[in-house]
Structure 1
């Protein structure tokens, strides 16, 4: 399950017209999401209504990013990046990892709250991926808390591309 994009507001995320619940499934599991169409979900004291599921196949690309990757014990950019590169190598992925930067040039540090704990990670991009390596990373991700949407990768949209 991917994290849902929105605008942070106090202790919640304000959903926008571009907010989406994205669930990555194996082909034989797709049928499990159709009964959710039109249903309401209660998240804390908030309710959202789900639309009709849209299906997209994983497609290889030379550049992927994750909104947040968490690797326990690695909260400094240099050691985190080395640990991320090791995890890629363990999956047999030859791409190069880098932490994206804020406008001031500092590493894009991210955090999520899980129960009463705040967990810190970084926004990560992987470049120079072969088709096979790209699909492997899309399937498996890296880091921890992937069931919480961390370490899940998506294609980087190219500037000027409408997709």
Structure 2
């Protein structure tokens, strides 16, 4: 959960965040690669362990429904972080590197830097909040974290094809963390940027709690 000190720190920080987007060349990745991706990046950029405010999004691809995703020309590694030359310099060594996750290898390109753009609705593939593994208590915890960040919006867990709340998991070493997909609508421009900058829940370096714009269709096709 977002502690009071963290909320005060977030309020005091400059909301100038950016995304570094690295092109990705490769064939496949594990569908659940958040922890493996972070581990591989930390091996190449060990100082990232000590830095606050860095989020690493999982790489998008077409799921094969058997534990893998197929990469495409649109697949990218996106790292969100404060617009601070010292922090940006920590991840620039990833450019041109080969990254191995399990028995899957990808090649990273030269990054482009983008500013965050406001949109009135955002979504996160998975948000994890420790000890909250049922939809209603989870949403109550989400509301408390949004209040701590002074973000106003309508948060809800989308439903899957069976009409059930969209529960997600991420494997970290030998244990599994449970979370939910989350959508937040009716956001002001300021609150949209703030939610993208700070996210919700934990495990931001493993692809959790990171908010992006909705796809064109209101669906959550992610694995």
Question: TM-score scaled by structure 1?
Answer: 0.88
SS in 1 for 2:117: coil
Q: Which moved more, 1:45-54 or 1:132-141?
A: 45-54
Over aligned residue pairs, what C-alpha RMSD do you find? 1.8
Whether the 8 Å contact between 2:59 and 2:77 is mirrored in structure 1 is yes
* Residue 71 of structure 2 is aligned to residue 15 of structure 1: yes
User: Structure 2 unaligned runs (5+)?
Assistant: 1-55, 218-223
- Asked if 2 retains the 8 angstrom alpha-carbon contact of 1:85 and 1:96, the reply is no
Counterpart CA distance in 2 for 1:36 and 1:149 is 17
Q: Within 2, Cα distance between the matches of 1:9 and 1:52? A: 31
Task: Return closer, same or farther for 1:141/1:8 CA change in 2, 3 Å cut-off.
Answer: farther
Q: Does the aligned pair in 1 maintain the 2:60–2:76 contact within 8 Å?
A: yes
- Quick check: 1:123 aligned with 2:178? no
Aligned residues between the structures? 159
Q: Which runs of 5+ in 1 are unaligned?
A: none
> Conserved in 2, the CA contact under 8 Å of 1:33 and 1:53?
no
**Partner residue in 2 for 1:54:** 112
- Tell me the TM-score normalized by structure 2: 0.66
**Is the aligned partner of 1:42 residue 2:42?**
no
* 1:10 Cα deviation after fit: 4.7
Shift, 1:45, TM fit: 2.9
Aligned residue among 111, 126, 131 for 1:73:
131
Residue 64 in 1 paired to residue 119 in 2?
A: no
The equivalences for 1:62-101 within 5 A come to 62-101=120-159
Equivalent residue for 1:25, pick from 58, 81, 86: 81
Q: Does 1:4 align with 2:59?
A: yes
Q: 2:211 aligns with which of 135, 140, 153?
A: 153
Stretch deviating more after TM superposition (141-150 or 6-15): 6-15
Task: Assess, with a 3 A threshold, how the Cα gap between structure 1 residues 30 and 8 changes in structure 2: closer, same or farther.
Answer: farther
Describe the shift of the 1:156–1:57 C-alpha distance in structure 2 as closer, same or farther (beyond 3 A): same
Q: Flag the structure with higher helix content.
A: 2
Q: Using the TM superposition, name which of 72-81 and 9-18 deviates more.
A: 9-18
* C-alpha contact (below 8 Å) 2:196/2:210 kept by paired residues: yes
The question of whether the paired residues in 2 share the 8 Å contact of 1:37 and 1:53 is answered with yes
